[in-house]
A and B are shown apart, each in its own frame.
Chain A
Amino acid sequence: KAGVTQTPRYLIKTRGQQVTLSCSPISGHRSVSWYQQTPGQGLQFLFEYFSETQRNKGNFPGRFSGRQFSNSRSEMNVSTLELGDSALYLCASSLTSGSPETQYFGPGTRLLVL
């Protein structure tokens, strides 16, 4: 089975722009979660989608949004980029949304905001 794929792998943007990241979960997985990883704040949960509905949301401003499609693929969008949004964005998929599901992580998208 193919693993979780994320595109693009690397991205450079400037302040004020917006960006969309994509995540394709493992086949058959219906839950997709997003995490932000930075040297200063570590790994922080952004949100989780299950069957096209947001199930959980972390403590991030409204500039961060996401969605999930009927094929379980997910996108996250960051509008009005700030320098502090530079991070590795990780996507994880699991079969369902109920704990304690094992989450399988993708390789991440590294975003640099200049």
Chain B
Amino acid sequence: AQSVTQLGSHVSVSEGALVLLRCNYSSSVPPYLFWYVQYPNQGLQLLLKYTTGATLVKGINGFEAEFKKSETSFHLTKPSAHMSDAAEYFCAVTFAGGGNKLTFGTGTQLKVEL
């Protein structure tokens, strides 16, 4: 079985500061990893995904994540937070042959303060 753990249900940063949202996964087979963002009263939007190949993945809105197999981590970062980044972020995992069944983490609410 696969699982994802997101450390920190709430993260607060100042505008312009580094954003770091943590995600650790557990999988007995090579994982495919995703980060999604959800704004209030909206669905989920894909930020980035890791499948195979380059372990540093760049996504939309200046976000990136690095797949570290040795640490079973896929942390999301952004060098400089903007007020518009305030939202809930979800890490998710699936695997080859898993179809489109995503297993999500519990989410991290990001607050950006002036």
Contacts and interface: CB of A to CB of B under 8 A. Distances in A.
B and A form one assembly: yes
Interface in A27-56: 31, 33, 35, 42-45, 48, 50, 55-56
Contacts of A33: 100-102
A56 B99 contact: yes
A29 to B, nearest CB: 11
A99 B104 contact: no
B42 interface: yes
B97 A99 contact: yes
Given A99-B32, A99-B94, A48 B100 contact: yes
B70 interface: no
Interface in B7-46: 32, 34, 36, 41-46
Interface string A15-36: 0000000000000000101010
Interface string B76-114: 000000000000001010111111111111110000000
Given A55-B99, A99-B96, A100-B94, A43 B104 contact: yes
Interface in B50-74: 51
Chain A interface size band reads: 20 to 34
B43 A103 contact: no
Interface centre among A45, A94, A99 (most CB of B within 10 A): A99
Contacts of A100: 32, 34, 49, 51, 94, 96
A97 B42 CA distance: 24
Which 6 residue pairs of A and B lie closest in terms of their CB atoms, listed nearest first? A105-B43, A100-B32, A43-B104, A105-B44, A56-B101, A56-B99
Given A55-B99, A97-B99, 16 more contacts: A42-B104, A42-B106, A43-B92, A43-B107, A48-B100, A56-B99, A58-B101, A92-B43, A92-B100, A97-B100, A98-B99, A99-B99, A100-B51, A103-B100, A103-B102, A105-B44
9 contacts: A33-B100, A43-B107, A45-B102, A45-B103, A48-B100, A55-B99, A92-B100, A100-B49, A108-B42
